[in-house]
């Protein structure tokens, strides 16, 4: 994707947002299998918590459009859109979420612990845990004299964790080529950002680390693309870290099964009316993209996802005795 | 407290916990609640349902995702005369805030020579079995039990949950109140039915430092806690069909450990099996076995055994997770093996 | 001290700085007892680490001049000057440092764990550990409708700990009457602040919490007094937290026995030439204070310290079996 | 490595550690060092003396006081092919950064199904006895041993320190390298002389997973680690004067625990005494005793015993601290009590 023209990036961003959204759409019924009529998280082919990324796709594609396989991304407990945009093996990722032997880690990790070493992607279930590792990966590139970068994703809620402060300071002190990307969806589970964050804009916190801070309004892939492009280029040039805060939204509950009683009435409808994917399609069409091209990209995205789900469902569960493998390398 | 009590009013542990906290908040204005998602949401695990509505946002405070910050603040509040009940959503998150727990809260009384106490309850969910993977399924009983200055308890049923919570809030020390997700009674998690018990709606406490005999028996002592107690009881019921009477001890308290009750039982039965779902090495099983074996007055009829989660991160795939978790079947099998020579 | 006139405060500040400096001066030979000719930290009447506050007295007196007994102070591993300025029982504090039965905690705590509940003072050995408790103590006052405040001291090094970030955000979100006071002595042990801190002025980090941030230059008690007075008054009025960064200096090693090889040559001499205590005496004399009054205050300060040391030395060691007391309340 | 080796060149553990790190940095450009005061100062406990001068500030990095940040960064570096050696100045500080250790570093291999390793050494000082009070004197062996995915070792002498450090750096897994302050050989701390040993200046490794027989004996097995090994050896020397031969096992590795060596020894001697200076409950003593007692093939001639720091925060006053710490005298007394019936 490195040398892509902007229009190519835009088509890729559209196709990738669609792919991510379709991925989540396929997760939904699979997750509820075995969980109806009584919802019990332990049941069905996809047990445990499930954090969907519907609505947050612009954060993934606008940033990852600029990345290469040798760039590192650490994502969060809500990782699917970013994993897909980073180019994580879709089949192995899907199989991992189904806990299958063919999964990225043979079913050991699950949806919050997706690792794909080929594209240097990782995520985790502890808030702000990925920030330090991103600084380390960035420092590794710098020490080797390579121009690869690292991106650490985090939520608005994570910006109040001590790990955020430590990682940003460390990145600045070491002038590490890392970009911190806050997906501001206005909530950490049920707690509104405004009720737990001392500043209105987390981008302003960049000043505490003498690094550039950017706020991107409107959940707009093009706007994210522009700002991230500059921050990433800056990092590649050896000019150090940046912080980007992206205004986005979570169209689903915090996790599947969330009753969302903490939302003001009508909020989800308002957000859905602003769904970034149809908006982006409209913009691309208005700006002269060919509907047939978009449709083809869309169909190809969906085909890949459907194939991944089919393969994942067909794959074997791991042999239980393999549970002891890989505790140590 | 004023409603007429139905003699068989059954509650889940979640309801019992929130009822206890609510009653104590009504009785003592120093009691307050803090944590992530404990106000509007009523706690991810239902521990604070209804409290915001009853007591308002001053005393029921949603916090930022800042465990070190708000547990530290709770210690400050406790030192200043409040009685904060704080939630650490999953025990797995202890790694971001353990200093505030073990070096601050747990040592305040000691470092101050008793001048400043720390009456604080830290409630936290433990346990897996529902596919939530390796950072959301741990137990860490021994991690907390190992470090001095805090009491550590976990109920196996709703009756004890309420009584322990009332005792914990009133205790002048930091109390880690663990609750097991498989027993919590959240619809979305599935719940062992036996944990949903009659809960008196009045005021009562369950001692924080005493193990309970959950089932009497003469042939074998099975020591466990939380979910493991139910595995043990299930196994005991099966054993009883073949005339073997297992005594089941619910530790209730991890720290202090009620060694006397365990020793007394094993002294009678001569056989000890320990069951827990925490990691095996340096765990509850080791401490209980050592506590019995170092008592020269006890003579064993069989080699003591322990069942625990092996020293492996908790795998996501149910195919693997259930392979490593303790179960009634595994308890039964171990018990039978221990009894074989005697049969 | 609350209703003192400013001139009274100035005399008190001078006397208290002298008291603190004399306290450290008495610690020094006592600490080296049993540790010569071979320095072994385990030996002598004062084993363990010993962090002296020489040079940092303005930070203690300029702030504590505004405090009452019901205000809370949490201090650091370098606590003597602050403890003395807060009015901690000097005899019991000295006895504690000697590990005696008459110590604040009967010898259980030692020099990094001084607690005096009567004046709401505590300190600790973990960097930035006192910040959360100060927020809690402040919130307690606020919830009770009292106008007492809390002060959390920290070093420049501590401003890079995650706990700093969490506590400041929490204080701001809860509008707690707490003032964070950074004693910037330019070092965390051997590491220069400029080599590990992304910003030149930690006061600027207040912006990340939408709270006022003040920098006080010159290690000047009067300047600290003025800035702290306003921040504390603001907190008492219910207007929320502040951050104050004080430029100060450490005239001794990080702990006793520190070879200080990390200091640029001549640094300590330069710093000693700027010693705030003689400078302050000169200023007071120049502004019309009576030398006899200053001498009397000085003598009284020293007398109290000498008496405390004499009593501490004479006091009994704790009965070893009491080691089990107070683990639980 | 090029200097001619004096056959009796004796080093402290501190010197042995810094020599090992320096030699491995020279041999492998992926090795680097990070931590507080490890560059200019050479480490508060001398673990990195001279490395800045030799390898420069890119590979020898002083960090901010941000343990979560720099340990997290080390995991990122390790995942990217570096081999960071990181210092956590005192193990007592684990509470501010345990998540990066136990949930991140220790689980990376597992969560990634072996795709991403974490070749990182975390070295950290343990132990008290010199009046540094309750937040600077802890051991926490069992705290680390309990949690899966990391190896945990501690040398009792300089020879092992070098060999273990070389093995640890080369290991593809996170290794917690504990070093005991009473053995470190820093002038200002006092040092048990026996820990200062001949250290070959060449390259050698000591296995990370194997206990060592520090002294052979037939009458009693004393199991310990770090400083406790020296208490045990001192006691054994005294016992030998009355014809009693104690075998002393130096665990070396806390995780994995070399149960085979311990069982083999106790199987021969029939008596087990465990000594450590960590908190007693859920500690090393419990795990070792349980590991022996659950082995049905071993028959004991005496009730097993453990000596540890009681479940009390570590007091400052030497009058109290020495009362609670293990000592050669206490080991001797316990050993004699265990042998009495046999005498
Ligand atoms: C250290 C830690 N604390 C708490 C949690 C529980 N938790 C999981 S997701 C979440 C909310 C995160 O909010 P945000 O960072 O805004 O991300 P979002 O879910 O909105 O994408 C919380 C509190 C956790 N996983 N880790
Ligand atoms: C969490 C933690 N990390 C490291 C240390 C070790 N340590 C003690 S004092 C100190 C330096 C503190 O620097 P600063 O905050 O500037 O205070 P100063 O010593 O300069 O007064 C360090 C790193 C500690 N006590 N706690
Ligand atoms: Mg969010
Ligand atoms: Mg400093």
| Within a domain: A195 | no
Query: What is the C-alpha to C-alpha distance for residues B73 and B88, in angstroms, rounded to an integer?
Result: 13
Half-sphere exposure of A54 (CA within 13 A, CB side): 21
Distance from CA of B113 to the nearest CA of D (A): 10
Interface test with D, best of C108, C113, C160, C327 (most D CBs within 10 A): C108
DSSP string, A80-120: HHHHHHHT--HHHHHHHHTT-TTSTTTTSS-TT---BGGGT
Query: What is the C-alpha to C-alpha distance for residues D183 and D157, in angstroms, rounded to an integer?
Result: 7
Question: Please, what's the b/e burial string for A156-178 (b: 16 or more CB within 10 A of its CB; e: otherwise)?
Answer: bbbbbbbbbbbbbbbbbbbbbbb
CB–CB of D107 and B279 under 8 A? no
Angle of helix A90-97 relative to helix A6-32, nearest 10 degrees, comes to 20
Nearest CB to C48: which of D40, D130, D324?
D130
Please give the angle made by the CA atoms of D49, D53 and D59, to the nearest 5 degrees: 90
| Within a domain: C326 | no
Atom of ligand 2 nearest to the CA of C193: 16
Domain range summary for chain D, segments of one domain joined by +: 10-198, 212-342
Mind listing the pLDDT tens digit for each residue in A121-132? 999 999 999 999
Q: Which residue of A has its CA nearest to C202?
A: A208
CB–CB of B113 and C126 under 8 A? no
The strand ranges marked E within C3-124 are: 72-75, 121-123
**What is residue D27's three-state secondary structure?**
helix
Mind listing the pLDDT tens digit for each residue in B221-255? 999 999 999 999 999 999 999 999 999 999 999 99
Architecture field, domain D212-342: 3-Layer(aba) Sandwich (3.40)
Percent of chain D with pLDDT over 90: 95
What is the model's pLDDT at position A276? 98
**What is residue B116's three-state secondary structure?**
coil
Given CATH 3.40.50.970, say whether it is the number of domain D10-198. yes
Query: What is the C-alpha to C-alpha distance for residues B47 and B165, in angstroms, rounded to an integer?
Result: 11
Mean pLDDT for all residues in chain C: 97
- Find residue B152's DSSP bridge partners: B176, B255
Say which CATH number the domain at A33 has.
3.40.50.970
Query: What is the C-alpha to C-alpha distance for residues D38 and A200, in angstroms, rounded to an integer?
Result: 39
What is the model's pLDDT at position B341? 60
Query: Could you list the residue range(s) of the whole structural domain that residue C300 is in?
Result: 3-186+202-315
Q: Name which of A159, A157, A179 is nearest A244 in CA terms.
A: A179
Other C-beta atoms closer than 10 Å to the C-beta of B340 total: 9
Query: What is the C-alpha to C-alpha distance for residues A7 and A222, in angstroms, rounded to an integer?
Result: 10
Does B67 participate in catalysis according to the annotation?
yes
Measured by CA distance, the residue closest to atom 19 of ligand 2 is C188
Mean pLDDT for all residues in chain B: 96
What is the model's pLDDT at position B2? 43
CB–CB of B320 and A162 under 8 A? no
Fold match flag (D10-198 vs D212-342): yes
Mind listing the pLDDT tens digit for each residue in A181-236? 999 999 999 999 999 999 999 999 999 999 999 999 999 999 999 999 999 999 99
pLDDT (mean) for A261-286: 97
Mind listing the pLDDT tens digit for each residue in B22-62? 999 999 999 999 999 999 999 999 999 999 999 999 999 99
Q: Taking CB atoms and an 8 Å cutoff, what residues of chain C touch B67?
A: 166
Percent of chain D with pLDDT over 70: 97
What is the model's pLDDT at position A5? 63
Strand order across the beta sheet in which A72-75 lies: A121-123, A72-75, A150-155, A178-184, A242-247, A213-216
In the predicted structure, residue D2 carries a pLDDT above the cut 80: no
Ligand that comes closest to the CA of residue B44: 1
Interface test with C, best of D131, D134, D325 (most C CBs within 10 A): D131
| pLDDT level of residue B340 (50, 70, 90 thresholds) | confident
Residues 45-64 of C with CB under 8 A from D: 46-49
| Secondary structure letter of residue C116 according to DSSP | B
| pLDDT level of residue A1 (50, 70, 90 thresholds) | very low
Q: In the block, which residue shows the tokens 């009756």?
A: B159
What is the model's pLDDT at position D8? 82
Residue A286: exposure state from Cβ atoms within 10 A (0-12, 13-18, ≥19): exposed
Mind listing the pLDDT tens digit for each residue in B82-112? 999 999 999 999 999 999 999 999 999 999 9
Distance from CA of A112 to the nearest CA of B (A): 8
Q: Taking CB atoms and an 8 Å cutoff, what residues of chain D touch B102?
A: 95
In the predicted structure, residue D343 carries a pLDDT above the cut 70: no
Percent of chain B with pLDDT over 70: 97
Mind listing the pLDDT tens digit for each residue in A22-68? 999 999 999 999 998 999 999 999 999 999 999 999 999 999 999 99
CB–CB of C196 and D324 under 8 A? no
Q: How many distinct structural domains can be found in chain A?
A: 1
| pLDDT level of residue D341 (50, 70, 90 thresholds) | low
What is the model's pLDDT at position D1? 37
Query: How many residues does the structure list for chain C?
Result: 329
CB–CB of A324 and B312 under 8 A? yes
Half-sphere exposure of A306 (CA within 13 A, CB side): 6
DSSP string, B117-171: ----EEEEEE--SSS--TTSS---HHHHHTSTT-EEE--SSHHHHHHHHHHHHHS
Query: How many residues does the structure list for chain D?
Result: 343
In the predicted structure, residue A4 carries a pLDDT above the cut 70: no
| Within a domain: A44 | yes
Query: What is the C-alpha to C-alpha distance for residues B235 and B256, in angstroms, rounded to an integer?
Result: 27
| pLDDT level of residue C110 (50, 70, 90 thresholds) | very high
DSSP string, B16-82: HHHHHHHHHHHH-TTEEEEETT-STT--TTSTTTTHHHHHHHHHEEE--S-HHHHHHHHHHHHHTT-
Distance (Å) from CA B73 to ligand 4 centroid: 24
Active-site option among D19, D36, D67, D321? D67
Mind listing the pLDDT tens digit for each residue in B211-222? 999 999 999 999
Distance from CA of A297 to the nearest CA of B (A): 33
**What is residue D308's three-state secondary structure?**
strand
Percent of chain A with pLDDT over 90: 97
Q: In the block, which residue shows the tokens 């109390």?
A: B175
CB–CB of D100 and B95 under 8 A? yes
Would you say C70 and C120 are in contact if contact means Cβ atoms under 8 Å apart? yes
Active-site option among D36, D136, D180, D231? D136
Distance of CA C23 to CAs B206, C28, C54, D70, Å? 50, 9, 10, 37
- B13 close to C (CB below 8 A): no
Q: How many CB pairs under 8 A join A and B?
A: 150
Ligand that comes closest to the CA of residue C184: 4
- The H or E element that residue D66 is part of is none
Atom of ligand 1 nearest to the CA of B37: 23
What is the model's pLDDT at position C64? 98
Distance from CA of D233 to the nearest CA of A (A): 33
**Which residues does C75 contact at the CB level (< 8 Å), separation at least 6?**
C82, C83, C86, C114, C121, C122, C123, C130, C153
Helix %, strand %, coil % of chain D (to 5): 40, 20, 40
The binding-site residues of ligand 1, defined as CB within 6 angstroms of any ligand atom, are: A 77-78, 125-127, 155-158, 185, 187-189, 254; B 36, 65, 89, 93, 96
Ligand that comes closest to the CA of residue C161: 2
In the predicted structure, residue D34 carries a pLDDT above the cut 60: yes
| pLDDT level of residue B190 (50, 70, 90 thresholds) | confident
Mind listing the pLDDT tens digit for each residue in C153-198? 999 999 999 999 999 999 999 999 999 999 999 999 999 999 999 9
Distance of CA D259 to CAs C70, D44, D104, D293, Å? 56, 34, 27, 11
pLDDT (mean) for D205-225: 98
- The H or E element that residue D74 is part of is helix D67-79
Q: What is the largest CA-CA distance in chain B?
A: 63
Does B231 participate in catalysis according to the annotation?
no
Residues 278-337 of D with CB under 8 A from B: 278-279, 281-287, 289-291, 293-296, 303-306, 310-313, 315
Atom of ligand 1 nearest to the CA of A184: 16
Structural tokens at position A114: 């997706």
Half-sphere exposure of B340 (CA within 13 A, CB side): 7
Other C-beta atoms closer than 10 Å to the C-beta of A117 total: 15
Dihedral sign for Cα atoms in the order B308, B122, A78, A5: negative
In the predicted structure, residue D199 carries a pLDDT above the cut 80: yes
pLDDT (mean) for C216-237: 98
What is the model's pLDDT at position B4? 54
Helices within A33-79 (DSSP H only): 57-64
| pLDDT level of residue B8 (50, 70, 90 thresholds) | confident
| pLDDT level of residue A81 (50, 70, 90 thresholds) | very high
Dihedral sign for Cα atoms in the order B232, B237, B242, B243: positive
Q: Name which of A88, A91, A111 is nearest A99 in CA terms.
A: A111
Mind listing the pLDDT tens digit for each residue in C58-94? 999 999 999 999 999 999 999 999 999 999 999 999 9
Angle of helix A276-286 relative to helix A291-314, nearest 10 degrees, comes to 150
- C99 close to B (CB below 8 A): no
Other C-beta atoms closer than 10 Å to the C-beta of B103 total: 26
| Within a domain: A38 | yes
| Within a domain: C56 | yes
- N-terminal to C-terminal alpha carbon distance within chain C: 33
Mind listing the pLDDT tens digit for each residue in C272-309? 999 999 999 999 999 999 999 999 999 999 999 999 99
């Amino acid at each position: 994707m490195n040398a892509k023209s902007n229009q190519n990036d835009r088509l890729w961003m559209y196709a990738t947002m669609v792919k991510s959204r379709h991925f989540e759409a396929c997760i939904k019924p699979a997750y509820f299998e075995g969980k109806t009529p009584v919802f019990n998280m332990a049941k069905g082919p996809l047990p445990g918590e499930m954090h969907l990324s519907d609505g947050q796709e612009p954060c993934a594609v606008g940033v990852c459009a600029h990345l290469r396989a040798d760039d590192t991304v650490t994502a969060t407990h809500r990782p699917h859109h970013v994993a897909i945009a980073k180019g994580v093996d879709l089949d192995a990722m899907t199989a991992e979420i189904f806990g299958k032997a063919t999964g990225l880690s043979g079913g050991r990790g699950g949806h919050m612990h997706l690792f794909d070493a080929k594209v240097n992607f990782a995520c985790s279930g502890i808030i702000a845990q990925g920030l330090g590792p991103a600084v380390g990966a960035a420092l590794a590139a710098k020490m080797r004299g390579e121009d690869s970068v690292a991106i650490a994703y985090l939520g608005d809620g994570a910006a109040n964790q001590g790990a955020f402060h430590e990682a940003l300071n460390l990145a600045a002190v070491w002038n590490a080529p890392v970009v911190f990307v806050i997906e501001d969806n206005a909530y950490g589970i049920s707690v509104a950002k405004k009720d737990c964050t001392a500043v209105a804009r987390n981008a302003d916190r960049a000043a505490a680390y003498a690094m550039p801070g950017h706020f991107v309004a409107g959940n707009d892939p093009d706007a994210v693309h522009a700002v991230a492009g500059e921050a990433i280029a800056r990092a590649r040039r050896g000019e150090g870290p940046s912080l980007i805060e992206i205004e986005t939204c979570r169209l689903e509950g915090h996790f599947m099964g969330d009753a969302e009683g903490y939302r003001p009435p009508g909020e989800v409808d308002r957000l859905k009316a602003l769904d970034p994917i149809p908006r982006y399609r409209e913009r691309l069409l208005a700006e002269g993209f060919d509907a047939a091209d978009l449709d083809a990209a869309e169909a190809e995205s969906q085909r890949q996802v459907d194939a991944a789900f089919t393969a994942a469902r067909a794959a074997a569960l791991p042999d239980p005795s393999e549970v002891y493998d890989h505790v140590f390398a | 407290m004023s409603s007429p009590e139905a003699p068989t009013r059954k509650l889940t542990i979640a309801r019992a916990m929130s009822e206890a906290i609510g009653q104590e908040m009504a009785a003592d204005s120093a009691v307050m609640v803090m944590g992530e998602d404990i106000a509007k949401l009523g706690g991810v695990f239902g521990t604070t349902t209804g409290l915001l509505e009853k007591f308002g946002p001053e005393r029921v405070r949603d916090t930022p995702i800042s465990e070190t910050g708000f547990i530290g603040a709770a210690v400050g509040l406790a030192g200043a005369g409040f009685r904060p009940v704080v939630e650490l959503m999953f025990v797995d998150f202890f790694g971001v805030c353990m200093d505030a727990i073990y070096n601050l809260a747990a040592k305040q009384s000691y470092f101050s020579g008793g001048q400043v106490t720390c009456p604080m309850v830290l409630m936290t969910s433990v346990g897996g079995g529902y596919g939530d993977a390796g950072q959301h399924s741990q137990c860490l009983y021994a991690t907390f039990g190992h470090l001095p200055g805090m009491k550590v308890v976990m109920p196996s049923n709703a009756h004890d949950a309420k009584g322990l919570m009332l005792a914990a809030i009133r205790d002048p020390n930091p109390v880690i109140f663990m609750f097991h997700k498989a027993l919590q009674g959240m619809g979305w998690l599935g719940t062992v039915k036996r944990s949903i018990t009659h809960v008196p709606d009045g005021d009562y406490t369950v001692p924080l430092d005493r193990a309970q005999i959950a089932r009497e028996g003469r042939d074998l002592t099975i020591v466990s806690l939380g979910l493991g107690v139910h595995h043990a009881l299930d196994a005991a019921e099966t054993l009883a069909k073949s005339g073997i009477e297992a005594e089941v001890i619910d530790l209730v308290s991890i720290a202090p450990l009620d060694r006397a009750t365990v020793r007394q039982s094993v002294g009678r039965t001569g056989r000890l099996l320990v069951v827990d779902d925490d990691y095996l090495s340096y765990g509850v099983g080791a401490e209980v076995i050592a506590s019995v074996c170092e008592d020269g007055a006890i003579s064993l009829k069989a080699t003591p055994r322990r069942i625990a989660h092996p020293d492996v991160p908790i795998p996501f795939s149910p195919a693997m997770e259930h392979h490593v978790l303790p179960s009634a079947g595994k308890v039964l099998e171990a018990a039978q093996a221990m009894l074989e020579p005697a049969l």
